[in-house]
Amino acid sequence: MKNLFMVAVSITIISCGSKKSMALHPERLSIGMTRQQVIMAMGDHIPFKIIGSRTYPEGVIEVGEYYDKKLIYGRGFVEEIYYLYFLNNTLIQWGRPQDWQKEADRIYEVRIR
């Protein structure tokens, strides 16, 4: 029985160790990176999709999205979403959607004063 338990634990450890982490890595991003550099930095095994684009006189702006769910003890599954803005294939802005609203509110408050 003890040997069977050890085999089961070993198989579990080996199978978990071979799985690629699905964690997003926004801390690896820098303004000015190309789209390919962003994909490599965030993890090329994590799905990345373009969710919008628009043409301006300066060039084409494309909006990309990374979406992931992670399990956090005591909170259940938590969504992790990042939007990335590219101008002519160069990263010019990125962040979580809810962060931009806070920044827009702060900028508005400064303009009123």
Q: pLDDT higher for 94 or 75? A: 94
Among residues 37, 20, 24, 22, which one has the least CA distance to residue 65? 24
Question: Whole-angstrom Cα distance, residue 46 to residue 60?
Answer: 24
pTM of the model: 0.64
Which structural domain, as residue segments, surrounds residue 94?
22-112
pLDDT reading at 34 higher than 50: yes
- Residue 102 forms part of a structural domain: yes
- CATH number for 67: 3.30.1450.10
Instruction: Report, as an integer, the average pLDDT of 37-46.
Output: 86
Q: What is the overall mean pLDDT for the chain? A: 75
- Residue 14 forms part of a structural domain: no
Instruction: Report, as an integer, the average pLDDT of 24-39.
Output: 89
- Residue 7 forms part of a structural domain: no
pLDDT confidence band for 55 (50 / 70 / 90): very high
User: 3-state DSSP call for residue 54?
Assistant: strand
Predicted confidence at residue 106, as pLDDT, reads: 58
Instruction: Report, as an integer, the average pLDDT of 35-45.
Output: 88
- Residue 106 forms part of a structural domain: yes
- Residue 66 forms part of a structural domain: yes
- Residue 92 forms part of a structural domain: yes
User: Into how many domains does the chain fold?
Assistant: 1
Q: What is the token pair recorded at 95?
A: 């962040």
Cα-to-chain-centroid distance, residue 10: 32
pLDDT confidence band for 16 (50 / 70 / 90): very low
Buried-state track 53-74, b at ≥16 Cβ within 10 A, e below 16: eeeeeeeebbebebebeeeeee
- Residue 78 forms part of a structural domain: yes
